[in-house]
Amino acid sequence: MIGACWKRDLTSQTSAGDSTPARVLPFGVLGALAVHSNCRVLEKHFMDWRESARTAQRTQCGHSVYWVPCHPRPTEENSIDTPALSDNVVSMKTITSRELSRKPSVISNIKPGEAVHVADRKGGLMMTRAKRIAVTPREMMAELGKVTAGCPPMDTQAFLEDGE
Amino acid sequence: MRIYPDTSFLVSLLYSGDRSHAASEAFFVAQTTAEWVTSEWLLFETNNSLRQLCLARNGPDKIMIEGVRRLFKRWHERGNFTRVDADMADAVTECQQLSAAHAIALRMRSADVLHVALLEQINPDLFVTRDADQFKLASQRAFPAQLLS
């Protein structure tokens, strides 16, 4: 089913300069957005897409994936690093559409902040699952306090450097 | 702001029994909007160091350390930590350049040099460490760095 969605989506994608939002595909992944980092035109429309993503999440119980075309193929030089996206994208792996057909879990199991680039001759498509910061630093420290309650005091740096 | 911490800071932050934990926690909590960036190497070294603490006399319980590791991993999914990919081959090349330039003048442990080498790729807004040697090296390379004692 995912393979079919992928094929349909490939034929429906617009060119990199088009502002038409990408199609919403029911992949069962929360609030995922697809972006191409180094294309300024797509970057300009990113916020619009993010807004439409929120709408889609509300109407489709939070199970939506957004794909966008990726021209040209991402390289080390134009990999994702724009400030608007840096909190959303952790790492990116590149696979082929054939690999996607064989192993659809690559996308269905995508973790928050991870991105998958499905390459083809025209550059391919990229998708990512948005990372949501659900806890504040203070809440994180409260979580840590519960786990490490009663731990013995020590000078960790001195121990790790000198072996005590 | 993107902050890259080193292992000494993270161990101090994650192990609440550390004598500098309060200072690390205060710094961490004060950065309310910061994105904390980690690398594969940093995650390995931090987790390994946490486990090594179990070897200390009266050290922590290994189950508790495993709980800390899992919590830290969870923070990467729902907290303000983000793991970024880095090219380790490039990082080692950078290490060699750092060594050639500074090793006869500064104390440079090999594992620590790798963090400073990774800064070249990750390019954070701030590098945070508790290690004075790493602080000196990062400063020599003109990376904005903060030393927490």
Which member of A76, A87, A132 has the closest CB to residue B82? A87
Under an 8 A CB cutoff, do B68 and A112 touch?
Answer: no
The whole-number average pLDDT for the span A97-114 is: 72
Taking alpha carbons only, the member of A119, A5, A18 closest to residue A70 is A119
- Give residue A97's pLDDT band: very low, low, confident or very high (50, 70, 90): confident
Please report, for chain B, the start and end positions of each structural domain, with discontinuous segments joined by +: 2-83, 88-124+131-143
- Cα–Cα separations (whole angstroms), residue A154 to A59, A140, B20, B105, B148: 52, 22, 9, 31, 17
Q: In the predicted model, is pLDDT for residue A37 greater than 50?
A: no
**Over chain A, what is the mean pLDDT?**
55
More confident residue, A95 or B12: B12
Q: Which residues pair with A65 in a beta bridge?
A: A25, A32
Give pLDDT, residue B12.
95
Residue of A nearest to B149 (CA): A157
For the cut 90, the answer to whether the pLDDT of residue A144 exceeds it is yes
Looking at the whole model, is its pTM more than 0.90? no
**pLDDT of A63:** 28
Residue A61 is classified by DSSP as: T
* pLDDT of A78 over the 50 cut: no
Helix (H, G, I), strand (E, B) or coil at A124: coil
Cβ–Cβ below 8 Å for B59 and A137: no
pLDDT value at A36 more than 60: no
Q: Tens digit of pLDDT per residue, chain B (149 long)?
A: 899 999 999 999 999 999 999 999 999 999 988 889 999 999 999 999 999 999 998 889 999 999 999 999 999 888 899 888 788 899 999 999 999 998 998 888 888 899 999 998 888 999 999 999 999 999 988 999 999 97
Chain B residues within an 8 Å CB radius of A115: none
pLDDT at residue number B55? 92
Whether B50 and B17 have beta carbons less than 8 Å apart is answered as: no
